Structure 1
């Protein structure tokens, strides 16, 4: 192996390590709150609608701040922008554990903004660092996201019991984010100047004129809506069915842990076909089956429901992120599509947790709630059939954005 090849291998290994470490931090801020909602509500006196706003706020911030990521990356560089996002994430995690109630909302807002920016940057960085295997490496990154989400869901109640309250449990995740920030600042890879200079892509206005971009965005939004409903409300829904607080938290944590399998495996499965439609239909079908089993079937079906929901959600998110890199010809286009798909998609996704909060406030039955969730799955499936086709955004010889 030549010296240059060894350096490239070392750079790739280092980037993968940092990508996984950063990815671990982009879900605990969201998943760690859900199992604690009953305690938060009892301690603060917030109404179900206010709790719904609290679960919706970070998802809405993902959508609002994600489009800022390409703009910030252009001016400060993607590496420095990601470091800034990690710093804001630490601040948000610490603030939301402080006694003043407004700081709970402010900290949640900052955490959502930071995750929106960091999550938008990473697909473009993957496309830049590993262009040949970007879809498979996106699966590794998604696996890290799922592991972080599982840790947040499963450890939030034990941490609250061990540390003496839900506030300290929420704040404790700042330590993991601090570790990621120090590692990223110390070890982050830098793109060669020529690599940055030669990247090309169309304008955002042109991107908005491409149906493929909208199809990817709406798919991202609908499947993310289901994910954040699970993060925000699944333990509450399970407790309404008679499960204990701890059991509901562990069921959600187990479901998120199962996502590790499909998050890593779905991009490999998608490569077996000319496009991603069969894989997308499979994982969305698992989501529908898992939700129905958990919310409608008997108690004996709860663990099959947990497994199916986890397999479906891990696979659907991994494939949705993979579409960002598969449907673009270069890293700059990937960054712009990432900003659009995650920005618009997460803004759409924020309606899901809010709607569940409203439905709970209205005290609707579990059958109605299940019907609403399965309707979201149906919409996601419709756009998956469009976004999953073998198409790609590219720039022609005249510099115009086209779909090939």
Structure 2
């Protein structure tokens, strides 16, 4: 038995899982934690709604640009080292955007997005390689941690920014704790012998994935989920404040939506593994999200219910979409390639959402158009999920 296998089957495996969970805490928190403070940032900087939406869009553009290269990084340097480098980039981006100038806010936001892009692509590949029989369960576990971290960041954002002598800069800087903790716990993985990555992801195989209808269905499902998620999460505090909620209450409700994202991870991990296919779950997640959007639009007085449903629906969709990346692939490198495709195209689509929603709001004076458009997108999600959820591999 190889040295790596000895370590991975003893206490080192627990450390690996802990490291995976801490990496998961960095995947959305630095992005979603900005949303409660967009109003404060606009007041102090004078940027427009569309420019503020760019703070959500920039990481998505970085996801789209960097994701296709993540599998190549893993082949050259190994998954563990590539993930460590990604965490360093995330930490650098958070530190940069917290320094003060508006240009640093945008540059740092794009930088952290590049690091998150690599981690987004490689985590499903790592699970497929080291935990092939626990993919759904561990995907659910890191969705739970990601949701809890987002909830903490969203809920604490405004109170931190309002401390005496504080500002939104300090509140943003506090999210640095997540990649730093992950770096500390992940560092021992660099001491292990490099695991050879299978060279099955040839140009032919990559071309086959891009020609696969199933790969496009997985990509479309994840892409529309990301589009709806980042539009609503980016603008939810503004949607709520325009409905009469205070900034602090809007931030707390934003945190509730992020907390609700963690719940499907508790429920779906075991269910996905036991089910023959996941079509019913995919359709249910999409329709739950649709209901929440219609509720926010037409009955904002029940916002607590709608944001909880939104978090639950999108959380379930993300767990399923990430599981599809591993379950529909035959091996870890194919999973990395599919993940790169899904995130490149999916986040290219999602990147347009927040600024377009901001423009639509400025043009119409309300959030009705954006909420209605997102509700329509969830219906298409349901259709794509009915195909992507079939028990097949590429």
Shorter chain as normaliser: what TM range?
over 0.9
Deviation string 1:139-197 (CA, Å, 9 cap, x unpaired) is 1112222122212211111221236000111112123312211221134584664x635
Compared CA separation, residues 388 and 19, structure 1 to 2 (3 A): same
Query: What residue number does 1:297 align with?
Result: 299
Query: What residue number does 2:25 align with?
Result: 24
Instruction: Give the superposition deviation at 1:266.
Output: 2.1
TM-score by length of 1: 0.91
Instruction: Give the superposition deviation at 1:213.
Output: 0.9
1:265 aligns with 2:267: yes
Contact 1:264 1:318 (C-alpha < 8 Å) held by counterparts:
no
Contact 2:148 2:259 (C-alpha < 8 Å) held by counterparts:
yes
Contact 1:66 1:342 (C-alpha < 8 Å) held by counterparts:
yes
Contact 2:283 2:383 (C-alpha < 8 Å) held by counterparts:
no
Query: What residue number does 1:168 align with?
Result: 170
Contact 2:155 2:255 (C-alpha < 8 Å) held by counterparts:
yes
Compared CA separation, residues 76 and 6, structure 1 to 2 (3 A): closer
Distance 2:342 2:208 in 1: 14
Distance 1:6 1:168 in 2: 40
Compared CA separation, residues 7 and 106, structure 1 to 2 (3 A): closer
Deviates more, 1:179-188 or 1:56-65: 179-188
- Residue 197 of structure 2 aligns to a residue whose secondary structure is helix
1:344 aligns with 2:345: yes
- Aligned partner of 1:214 among 206, 213, 216: 216
Query: What residue number does 1:400 align with?
Result: none
Contact 1:140 1:263 (C-alpha < 8 Å) held by counterparts:
yes
Contact 1:267 1:322 (C-alpha < 8 Å) held by counterparts:
no
Deviates more, 1:358-367 or 1:49-58: 358-367
Unaligned 5+ runs, structure 2: none
Contact 2:155 2:252 (C-alpha < 8 Å) held by counterparts:
yes
Unaligned 5+ runs, structure 1: 394-404
Contact 1:226 1:376 (C-alpha < 8 Å) held by counterparts:
yes
Contact 1:49 1:357 (C-alpha < 8 Å) held by counterparts:
yes
Compared CA separation, residues 100 and 192, structure 1 to 2 (3 A): closer
Deviation string 1:185-226 (CA, Å, 9 cap, x unpaired) is 134584664x63576675322211111111111111000111
Contact 1:229 1:356 (C-alpha < 8 Å) held by counterparts:
yes
Contact 2:80 2:189 (C-alpha < 8 Å) held by counterparts:
no
Query: What residue number does 1:10 align with?
Result: 11
- Residue 390 of structure 1 aligns to a residue whose secondary structure is coil
Distance 1:309 1:191 in 2: 43
Query: What residue number does 1:98 align with?
Result: 99
Query: What residue number does 1:274 align with?
Result: 276
- Residue 90 of structure 1 aligns to a residue whose secondary structure is helix
Contact 1:15 1:188 (C-alpha < 8 Å) held by counterparts:
no
> Paired residues, what number?
389
Distance 1:189 1:371 in 2: 51
Compared CA separation, residues 298 and 70, structure 1 to 2 (3 A): closer
Q: How does 1:136-155 map to 2 (within 5 A)?
A: 136-155=137-156
Contact 1:267 1:319 (C-alpha < 8 Å) held by counterparts:
no
Distance 1:371 1:199 in 2: 43
Distance 2:155 2:149 in 1: 10
Contact 1:284 1:313 (C-alpha < 8 Å) held by counterparts:
yes
Query: What residue number does 1:132 align with?
Result: 133
Compared CA separation, residues 68 and 192, structure 1 to 2 (3 A): closer
Distance 2:323 2:193 in 1: 22
Contact 2:360 2:367 (C-alpha < 8 Å) held by counterparts:
no
Deviation string 1:376-402 (CA, Å, 9 cap, x unpaired) is 111211211111111102xxxxxxxxx
Compared CA separation, residues 290 and 334, structure 1 to 2 (3 A): same
Query: What residue number does 1:114 align with?
Result: 115
Distance 1:7 1:375 in 2: 45
Deviates more, 1:335-344 or 1:317-326: 335-344
TM-score by length of 2: 0.93
Q: How does 1:5-404 map to 2 (within 5 A)?
A: 8-162=9-163, 164-187=166-189, 190=192, 193=195, 196-197=197-198, 203-299=205-301, 301-393=302-394
Contact 1:79 1:190 (C-alpha < 8 Å) held by counterparts:
no
Distance 2:318 2:234 in 1: 17
Distance 2:305 2:244 in 1: 18
Contact 1:296 1:366 (C-alpha < 8 Å) held by counterparts:
no
- Residue 134 of structure 2 aligns to a residue whose secondary structure is helix
